[in-house]
């Protein structure tokens, strides 16, 4: 340990790592003046009862990145050690800290309890801090502190924004490249962005969102049961014209025993979104619907293909119940003639519902030919279903 520990940059404390009897107490007893791991830069820490009392032995003033996650399920988490966990987190060294990764959303009760201790750590982070991925809903003071950090580029937001008035908007947002919004926080943040654009006074052509609108490349809205995929929400996203990846992970669900489709976009709304985001390479608009009752059809795919020429991967919540007739209609409708003549994207990965797609006969040919006319480089996800495999073979032979 004395020979090698001072040189270590990374130490993995696996959740099931078993130390020999007395190992950790001996490390504490023989602790060097400079600590055991003075050069440590990355520490993955699964919180366990066995390592909790000794984890500070692995702290380093040069710590740049820490991953903290729970080894318990919601039903197993021992509430009696919450204070010790909070105290340990609150003393994390932050002078060189750049990244905090705080596990998954569960056990939720633990992350709620740790709100204050995590907040105290983040408030001590300085300009070098670049990445926060956490399920924790932070205080308004911590949120405002993060917005002042000039190099913050990745942020998973665990809660809604502070209740800003038009006179108290943040002076500037950091140049984030990746923003992840928990479903229950998403609408509040996107609404705030639009309020700022509508009301903020532009100084020399700049608003608090000027840097964010240029820098943001990836926006993800995590799964939530609210019908967040509606025309209003989609319209607000259009601020971020440089998005390369947009993922809204809404999916249908049972509500009091009744299945509901929460996808509220129509073909026109999807087309407007595609026109506003020409840099997209990855687009995920909801998961395929088990009810197949939404208002979007294959008609919106043509708009996506001609307006998002860089698109490589698409997952979309559309109705395929009448896909054969829908493809016939857009091939004959004069409103689509100009789109058919335009260049198409080189999409190679498509995931959509398969209800209504015939397995053979003229209908099968119409679907295969129509889909490859929209996406000339198309490949459905291989091995996922017999329909996709059969369509792939037909498209490859075309």
- Of the candidates 316, 304, 315, 317, which has an alpha carbon nearest to the alpha carbon of residue 278? 304
DSSP, collapsed to helix, strand or coil, labels residue 374 as helix
Specify whether the CB–CB gap between 193 and 172 falls below 8 A: no
Q: Indicate whether 34 and 137 sit together in one domain.
A: yes
Q: Is residue 174 part of a domain?
A: no
Q: Indicate if 124 and 242 belong to the same structural domain.
A: no
Least-confidence region, from 15-29, 78-92, 292-306? 15-29
Q: Which tokens go with 37?
A: 């791991």
On whether both 142 and 226 belong to a single domain, the answer is: no
Q: How many domains does the chain have?
A: 2
Residues 25, 148 within the same domain: yes
Q: Classify 42 as helix, strand or coil.
A: strand
Condensed to tens digits (0 to 9), the pLDDT of residues 336-380 reads 888 999 999 999 999 888 888 888 889 999 999 999 999 999 988
Average pLDDT over residues 236-253: 89
247 and 362 together in one domain:
yes
For the record, the structure tokens of 81 come out as 């050690």
Q: Residue 160 falls within a domain, yes or no?
A: no
Q: What is the pLDDT of residue 240?
A: 96
Chosen domain end from 152, 170, 205: 152
Mean of pLDDT over the chain: 88
Least confidently predicted of 11-15, 82-86, 174-178, 333-337 = 11-15
What proportion of the chain, given as a percentage, has pLDDT over 70? 92
157 part of a folded domain: no
252 shares its domain with 395: yes
Q: Which of 97, 121, 152 is the last residue of a domain?
A: 152
With contact defined as beta carbons under 8 Å apart, do 146 and 152 qualify? yes
Q: Has this prediction a pTM greater than 0.85?
A: yes
194 in any annotated domain: no
Residue 225 CB coordination number (10 Å)? 15
CA 359 to chain centre: 35
Buried b (16+ CB within 10 A) or exposed e, 226-257: eebbbeebbebbebbeebbbbbbbbbbeeeee
Q: Has residue 229 got a pLDDT over 80?
A: no
Instruction: Output the CA–CA distances (angstroms, integers) from residue 150 to 94, 102, 174, 193, 357, in the order listed.
Output: 16, 21, 5, 18, 51
User: Is 179 inside a domain boundary?
Assistant: no
Phi then psi for 68, rounded to 5 degrees? -120, 125
- Whether 226 and 109 map to the same domain: the answer is no
pLDDT at position 75 over 80: no
Q: Domain for residue 184, yes or no?
A: no
Residue 133, pLDDT > 90, answer yes
What is the rounded CA–CA span in Å between residue 55 and residue 81? 14
Residue 131 near residue 174, CB atoms below 8 Å: no
Decide if pLDDT at 329 tops 60: yes
CATH assignment of the domain containing 138: 3.80.10
* 398 belongs to a structural domain: yes
Q: Which residues contact 385 (CB under 8 A, 6 or more apart)?
A: 354
75 with 223, same domain: the answer is: no
Instruction: Please tell me the distance from the alpha carbon of residue 390 to that of residue 392, in angstroms, as a whole number.
Output: 5
141 in a structural domain? yes
Q: Are residues 7 and 91 in the same domain?
A: yes
Is residue 283 a contact partner of residue 303, using CB atoms and an 8 Å limit? no
**One domain for residues 123 and 250:** no
Domain boundary among 152, 167, 196: 152
Which stretch of 31-35, 75-79, 325-329 has the lowest confidence by average pLDDT? 75-79
- The whole domain housing 363 covers 217-398
CB atoms within 10 A of CB 75: 6
- Are residue 44 and residue 119 in the same domain, yes or no? yes
In degrees rounded to 5, what are phi and psi of residue 221?
-110, 115
């Amino acid at each position: 340990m004395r020979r090698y520990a001072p040189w270590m940059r990374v130490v993995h404390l696996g959740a099931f790592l078993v130390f020999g009897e007395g190992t950790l107490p001996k490390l504490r007893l023989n602790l060097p003046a400079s600590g055991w791991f003075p050069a440590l830069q990355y520490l993955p820490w699964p919180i366990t009862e066995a390592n909790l009392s000794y984890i500070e032995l692995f702290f380093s003033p040069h710590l740049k990145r820490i991953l903290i996650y729970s080894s318990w399920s919601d039903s197993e988490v021992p509430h009696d050690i919450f204070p010790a966990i909070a105290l340990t987190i609150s003393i994390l060294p932050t002078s060189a800290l750049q990244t905090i990764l705080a596990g998954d959303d569960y056990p939720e009760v633990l992350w709620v309890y740790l709100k204050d201790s995590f907040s105290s750590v983040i408030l001590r982070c300085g300009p070098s801090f670049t990445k926060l991925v956490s399920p924790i809903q932070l205080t308004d003071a911590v949120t405002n502190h993060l917005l002042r950090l000039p190099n913050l580029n990745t942020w998973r937001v665990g809660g809604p924004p502070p209740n800003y008035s038009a006179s108290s908007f943040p002076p500037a947002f950091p140049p984030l490249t990746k923003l992840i919004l928990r479903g229950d926080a998403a609408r509040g943040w996107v609404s705030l962005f639009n309020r700022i654009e509508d009301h903020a006074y532009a100084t020399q052509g700049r608003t608090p969102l000027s840097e964010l609108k240029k820098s943001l490349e990836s926006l993800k809205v995590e799964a939530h049961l609210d019908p967040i995929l509606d025309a209003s929400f989609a319209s607000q996203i259009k601020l971020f014209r440089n998005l390369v990846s947009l993922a809204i992970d809404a999916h249908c669900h049972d509500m009091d025993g009744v299945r509901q489709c929460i996808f509220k976009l129509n073909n026109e709304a999807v087309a407007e979104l595609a026109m506003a985001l020409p840099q997209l390479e990855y687009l995920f608009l909801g998961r395929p619907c088990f009810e197949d009752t939404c208002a979007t059809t294959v008609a919106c795919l043509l708009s996506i293909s001609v307006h998002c020429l860089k698109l490589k991967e698409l997952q979309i919540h559309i109705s395929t119940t009448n896909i054969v007739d829908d493809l016939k209609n857009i091939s004959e409708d004069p409103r689509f003639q100009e789109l058919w003549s335009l260049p198409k994207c080189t999409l190679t990965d498509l995931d959509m519902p398969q209800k209504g797609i015939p397995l053979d006969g003229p209908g099968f040919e119409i679907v295969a030919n129509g889909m490859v006319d929209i996406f000339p480089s198309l490949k459905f996800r291989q091995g996922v279903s017999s329909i996709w495999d059969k369509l792939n073979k037909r498209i490859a032979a075309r």
